[in-house]
Chain A
Amino acid sequence: MLKSLLFWLAAVALFVLHNDVWWWHDATPILGVPIGLAYHFGFCLVTALLMAVAARRLGSDDS
């Protein structure tokens, strides 16, 4: 129950973080890539990490 709650809190946090209005007009390069693109690339990787944690419960009872 607690794990589930924490997962959904993390998912909501990701939803909020997806709306990165804070560098809307910023083109500072991160490893050569504009920050607006680098950030969302990182966002995809962090999402994969969260899903890796959540997916462990899938199929535990195969239902």
Chain B
Amino acid sequence: MTLAIIAAYLLLVLAIGWGSARAFRGTGVDYFVATRSIGSLLLLTSLFGTNMTAFSLLGASGEAYRRGIGVFALMASSTALVAPLVFLTIAPRVWGLGKRHGYLTQVEMVRDRWGSDRLGALLFAFQVVLLVPYLLIGIKGGGLTLAQITEGTVPEWAGSLAITLVVLVYVTAGGLRGTAWANAAQTAVFTLLGGVTFWIIVRSFGGLSAAFARVAEVEPELLVRGARVQPLELLSYMAIPLSVVGFPHIFLHWLTAKSARSFRLPVVAYPICVAAVWVPSVSIGVLGAVDFPGLEGPAANSILIQMIGRYAPGVLAGFLAAGVLAAVMSSLDSQTLALANMFTHDIVKHYRYRDRMSDRLEILAGRGFVTLVLAITYSLSLVIDQSIFRLGVWSFSGFAALTPLFVAALYWRRSTRAGACAALGAAIVTWFAFLVRGWSQPAYTVGDSGLMPVVVILAASGLALWLVSLVTRAPGDERLARFFPPAETAP
């Protein structure tokens, strides 16, 4: 039954991708940004589905099993505030500039803003380094989870392969439009299934009050932040969701908006969507302590699957598998397309064709890179071990570290090319230094104080940008006029 539901779900996603391909207009802009035609609702589901990975469903439960309800404040409500603020202040500006100048990647925008190919190349390299592990985590995590849910009937390699092939088909066929349509369905699926799972489990406990009362008897420390979350950690974790500023896949979705007005719904509804997905995930993790006390490592991470097995095996397990697939694929598709977009425009179009490329060639290159990226990532997922999962939070920190660079590009006229290079250089060096230092400690914080390394990385990058920009020559009016309306560039 579980396998039948999984197969039916994959066919549904393929059908949606196939349907979207019928609307394809045959241009490069349509393939990569759906001719900037995406309305509010699709934009919301695209942004939310892309940003919520399988680990929002599973990882949050595992983390809550270990650390209690504090996980919601750390990872969810912080995102509920920061992400809409970014969608409100950064996204519409990016969309406007993209429409005016035809940017399709962050590298194109940064290169143009400060007139530096080298800066663009360095940004490209850093983003690829951060994005590839993120893709690997999706493919490998999806395969592992499917293997667990089906109790080995679907081996890890087969689960990963199924996910990769389905994404390959609908992304190559429909481009960004296919991704947006599929994301809408997938976001609905994993949000709904999370809620249904939560309701069934809580009902089995005798209601919400009875459920948490049982936890209070067994492990009351899970119902408070207590010693499991440090106040400084809660404060500094707020910087992690800034990663939405630097994510190439989120940037790509911003460019698809039909108008600046299209951002209204994502800005307003995002916090509600976050609460709708994370409250069930965190609560189920905490309730897991009643039935499965003392789990550690990977067993703790799979607490949601174990709870399903205990309270609602059979059909619900099949639907949960579909929900996990939805969460994995709704991120994987956008990340793959973003990476293919970067290789097509930042490398091939810029260096080989000097920014002039026919639509036919652009689409061909895009589809080729989507295939290549997925083939390489899938192959790597077969040989790499589970230590790759440790890169997850570091990937987020790296993207968040790009915030000073992008904010300066959009808001600070006095920022200079040298300042931007210094900001990016400082971000890369400090990120790498912390990665080396914290690699062997999964919950590493600066000096065990609770301070997340991302705060130090952001400070270093921002300071370098500010100091170097102030001591170097201000950019010319002509360049500024491209980024700021004429009234703003007047002295």
Q: Which of A's residues lie within 8 Å of B, judged by CB?
A: 11, 14-15, 18-21, 23-27, 29, 31-34, 36-37, 40-41, 43-45, 47-48, 51-52, 54-56, 58-59, 61-63
The secondary-structure label for the interface of chain B is helix
Q: Which of B212, B223, B234, B282 contacts A19 (CB 8 A)?
A: B234
CB of B150 closer than 8 Å to a CB of A: no
B216: A residues at CB distance < 8 A? 27
Which chain B residue lies CB-closest to A37?
B69
Give the tally of cross-chain contacts (CB within 8 A): 126
Contacts of B84 in A (CB 8 A): 47-48, 51
How far is B64's CA from A36's CA once the two chains are assembled, in angstroms?
13
Q: Which of B209, B268, B274 contacts A52 (CB 8 A)?
A: B268
Can you list 30 contacts pairing A with B, beta carbon distance less than 8 Å? A18-B234, A19-B231, A19-B234, A20-B73, A24-B225, A32-B208, A33-B208, A36-B69, A36-B73, A37-B282, A37-B283, A41-B77, A41-B279, A44-B76, A45-B272, A45-B275, A47-B80, A47-B271, A48-B80, A51-B267, A51-B268, A54-B88, A55-B88, A56-B264, A58-B261, A59-B92, A59-B262, A59-B264, A63-B96, A63-B485
Assess the B80–A44 pair: CB atoms within 8 A.
Answer: yes
A-B CB proximity, top 6 nearest: A59-B261, A32-B209, A32-B208, A27-B223, A44-B275, A59-B260
Answer yes or no: B85 CB below 8 A from chain A CBs.
yes
Q: Which of B223, B225, B260, B283 meets A62, CB within 8 Å? A: B260
* A interface, over-half SS: helix
Cβ–Cβ contact A55 & B223, under 8 A: no
Q: Contacts A19-B234, A29-B212, A58-B261 hold; do A43 and B80 have CB atoms under 8 A apart? A: yes
Which residues of B are found within 8 Å of A18, using beta-carbon distances?
73, 77-78, 81, 234, 238
- Listed in ascending order, the chain B residues whose CB lies under 8 Å from chain A are 69-70, 72-73, 76-78, 80-81, 84-85, 88, 92, 96, 207-209, 211-213, 216, 220, 223-226, 231, 234-235, 238, 259-264, 267-272, 274-275, 279, 282-283, 485
Given that A19-B234, A21-B231, A62-B259 are known contacts, is A54 also in contact with B267, CB under 8 Å in the complex? yes
* Alpha-carbon distance between A47 and B272 when the two chains are bound, in angstroms: 9
Inside 8 A of A29's CB, which chain B residues have their CB? 209, 212-213
Q: Are A27 and B225 in contact (CB under 8 A)?
A: no
Contacts beyond the supplied A47-B81, A59-B262: 11 A-B pairs with Cβ under 8 Å: A11-B81, A18-B77, A19-B235, A40-B73, A41-B275, A45-B275, A54-B88, A55-B264, A58-B92, A59-B92, A59-B260
Residues of the A chain whose Cβ atoms lie less than 8 Å from the Cβ of B271:
44-45, 47-48, 51
| Closest residue of B by beta carbon distance from A31 | B208
A34 touches B69 (CB 8 A): yes
C-alpha spacing A20/B74, complex, angstroms? 11
Whole-angstrom distance between the Cβ of A58 and the nearest chain B Cβ? 5
Q: Given A29-B209, A54-B88, are A59 and B224 also a contact pair (CB < 8 Å)?
A: no
Q: Assess whether A27 is in contact with B260, with CB atoms less than 8 Å apart.
A: no
Closest residue to B209 on the A side, CB-wise?
A32
Closest to B202 in A: A32
Task: Establish whether residues A55 and B96, one from each chain, have CB atoms under 8 Å apart when the complex forms.
Answer: no
A27 touches B220 (CB 8 A): yes
Residues of B with C-beta under 8 A to A51: 84, 88, 267-268, 270-271
